[in-house]
Amino acid sequence: MSMRSVMLLSLLLGGAFLLSLLVPMWPILGLLSQDRELGIGVLTQLRLPRALLALAYGAMLGASGAAIQALFANPLASPDLTGTTSGAALGAVLTAYIFGFSAPLALSLGAVAGALGALVLLLLLAGARAETGTLLLAGLAISALAGALTTLALALAPSPFAFYDAYEWLMGSLVDRSLGQAAFAGIPALVSIALLLRLTRALDSLTLGEEVAQSFGHDIGRLRRWVVCLSALGVGACVAICGAIGFIGLVAPIFARRLTGGHPGRAVLPASLLGASLLLLADSAVRAAPLGRTLPIGVLTALLGAPFFLWLVAHMRWRLR
Amino acid sequence: MSLLVEAQGLALPGRLGVTSITLQAGALTCLIGPNGSGKTSLLHALAGIGRPAGQVRIGGTDPAAASPQQRQRLLTYLPAAREVAWPLDARSLIGLGIPEPEYLPRVMEALDLAAFEDRRMDRLSTGERSRVLIARALAPRPPLLLLDEPAANLDPLWQLRLMAFLKTEAHANGQAALVAVHDLDLAGAYADRLLIMARGRIVADGDPEELLAGDVVPRVFGIERAEGRWRPVA
């Protein structure tokens, strides 16, 4: 990827971050002019954690999506379509019933365990280099199982409040999170992204097949374990705080590979920058939408992502003809 | 010719049992044998694929202890499968190893890639894809070349051109090239040395002409030469 592309993506990310802090603009400008201290409080206590969470979660989904797609050699692999996000959601809901939604450490551990379980199950079911059909079927089965168990957990909610908390959280939201919660999601996400970036050369070599990658001296078993564990750690930690947000991990790597000449491993960094920008922009869009109330961001990404996914499937089918 | 590669005790249960093999620098060695005789397993063992038992030394260096960057400067491996996981363009794919900038143009020219170097791999014919992957394997110009059926999928002219190029380059660069082939005449025409494998072991090692004229080929392959053509042993 050229320096120019990195600069452009960084500018896009910087712009999206600023936009996320300022949208909607008039209320915050009015507040700052009337009561500067309160205005700064709103910016730092409400909007900053939200923007930081969008940045970390989007970057994590992008990086993890790119790494998972490179590992499975499949452009349809992503944290949500492989069941990672649903596994994390199930883990978090089960943990929340025991410790409540205000125990971020327990919630994070539960979500990471759920995501890890889903990815390990996927590797066992679909194999390391799964064909598109097998991968989607296995991912669908895991998502369906995790979804059904999550619904069961909801049905057995200890109280209507617990049910409502879990339901709202499941739709995916960045609203009303604190800086502490942002740190709980952001730190594991940034550590995971930094470590995933160290695997780019090995992931690129998989383009030539596992045998050639091994002849290059890469330990494929270890590579697989790293990608699975880092994706589970980063995505799980973000899901624990913000709920499930879909399709960013599918879309960002696909566009990122256009900047890297198709190299799947090198796409981890641009996918991460793009994922963060996309989620920040989506979050600004849900706040700016004149709906009278804030749309859950997970709903918006699904509404935009699902047609893109359908287009991708049709495009692949056309190419395979 | 100096000794470049020494390997001992290469073993994969049920597939390979080679007690010792050496390869000389500046020589093209062809590896022949029936399907399932262990050719690919031997190439894998030398390339460090699949954690086989045994020890390999390339110019005195243990490739298993080398970093990926060092290892790519020691050896290259071309698998028999000509598929790639992502449809990169030919030039990007060749750059996936550590190509030697001074040597790359020579490889590109020898394999005549200029006409389609910007095209994506999924838009090339099988033969063109093969030539790109062979170029990727040769471009780093490492001392040890391990090539699994490089001539497969190529038309007769390209088979001859490729084998001639491999021989010239091995001699000129002081490389040890171990090349698995199925075409006995191709092996006989270009190899400096011939290895014949059967049931995971090297059963004959020597001058190609002598070995192809001897009794090993009929015993191992079940074919014999009669009236200038190979045919099943009567």
Query: What tens digit of pLDDT does each residue of A186-231 get?
Result: 999 999 999 999 999 999 999 999 899 999 999 888 898 888 889 9
Chains A–B, number of C-beta pairs less than 8 Å apart: 76
Do the Cβ atoms of B96 and A202 come within 8 Å?
A: no
Asked whether residue B106 is domain-assigned, the answer is no
Q: What is the mean pLDDT of residues A70-95?
A: 86
Whether residue A11 is predicted with pLDDT greater than 80 in this model: the reply is: yes
- Judged against a pLDDT cut of 80, whether residue A60 lies above it is answered with yes
Q: Name the minimum distance, in Å, from the CA of A206 to any CA of chain B.
A: 7
For B220, the domain range is 3-79+143-232
DSSP for A136-153, written as a single string? HHHHHHHHHHHHHHHHHH
> Is B59 domain-assigned?
yes
The two three-digit tokens of residue B177, written as one number: 């090239």
Enumerate residue ranges in chain B where pLDDT < 70: 1
A211 → closest Cβ in B68, B79, B89: B79
Judging by DSSP bridges, how do beta strands B144-148 and B176-180 pair with one another?
parallel
Label residue A319 by pLDDT band (50, 70, 90). low
* Structural domain contains residue B70: yes
**Complex-level ipTM:** 0.93
Of A116, A71, A99, nearest to A237 (Cα)? A116
Q: How far apart are CA A185 and CA A188, in angstroms?
A: 6
Q: Is the pLDDT of residue A23 over 90?
A: no
The residue-averaged pLDDT of A101-124 equals 86
Question: d(Cα A290, Cα A206) in Å, to the nearest integer?
Answer: 46
Task: Sort out which chain B residues have CB atoms less than 8 A from A217's CB and list them.
Answer: 48, 63, 66-68, 70-72
pLDDT per residue as tens digits for the range A254-299: 999 999 988 999 999 999 999 999 999 999 988 887 776 777 888 8
Handedness of CA A157, A161, A167, A169 (dihedral sign): negative
pTM reported for the whole predicted model? 0.88
Q: Is residue B59 within 8 Å of residue B70, measured between CB atoms?
A: no
Which residues in B lie closer than 8 A to residue A129 (C-beta atoms)?
85
- Whether the pLDDT of residue A320 is over 60: the answer is no
- For chain B, the 3-state helix, strand and coil shares in percent, each to the nearest 5, are 35, 30, 35
User: Which amino acid does the sequence have at A289?
Assistant: A
Distance CA A50, CA A108 (A): 18
Which one of A204, A215, A257 has the shortest CB-CB distance to B47? A215
Verify whether the Cβ–Cβ distance A263 to B88 is below 8 Å: yes
Reply yes or no on whether the pLDDT at A233 is more than 80: yes
Q: Is A204–B96 a contact, with Cβ atoms under 8 angstroms apart? A: yes
CB-CB under 8 Å, B50 with A217: no
Mean model confidence pLDDT for chain A:
87
**How far does the CA of residue A213 sit from the closest CA of chain B (Å)?**
9
For residue range A148-163, list pLDDT tens digits in order: 999 888 888 878 887 8
Alpha helices in chain B (DSSP H): 39-47, 68-74, 90-94, 104-110, 126-138, 156-173, 184-190, 208-213, 216-221
d(C-alpha A256, C-alpha A9), whole Å: 10
Q: Report pLDDT for A167.
A: 81
| CATH code for the domain of B48 | 3.40.50.300
- Between chains, do B88 and A129 touch, taking CB under 8 Å as contact? no
Q: Residue B148: inside a domain, yes or no? A: yes
Distance of CA B105 to the CA centre of its chain: 21
Q: What is the structure's pLDDT at A130? A: 63
A207 vs B93: CB contact, 8 Å cut-off? yes
Q: Is residue B124 part of a domain?
A: no
Q: What is the pLDDT of residue A174?
A: 85
- Predicted pLDDT of residue B1: 62
Enumerate chain A positions whose Cβ falls within 8 A of a Cβ in B: 73, 129, 201-202, 204-209, 211-212, 214-218, 257, 261-264, 319
Taken in order of first residue, the domains within chain A and their CATH numbers are 3-320 (1.10.3470.10)
Of all residues in chain A, the percent with pLDDT exceeding 90 is 37
Is residue B98 in a domain?
no
**Is the residue at B157 inside a domain?**
yes
pLDDT over 90 at A316, yes or no:
no
pLDDT bin (cut points 50, 70, 90) of residue A41 is: confident
C-alpha to C-alpha distances, A250 to A5, A64, A188, A225, A282, nearest whole angstrom: 20, 9, 21, 21, 15
CA–CA min distance A251, chain B (Å): 17
**Which candidate from B48, B96, B120 shows the least CB-CB separation from A214?**
B48
Tell me how many domains chain B contains. 1
The answer to the question of residue B103 being in a domain is: no
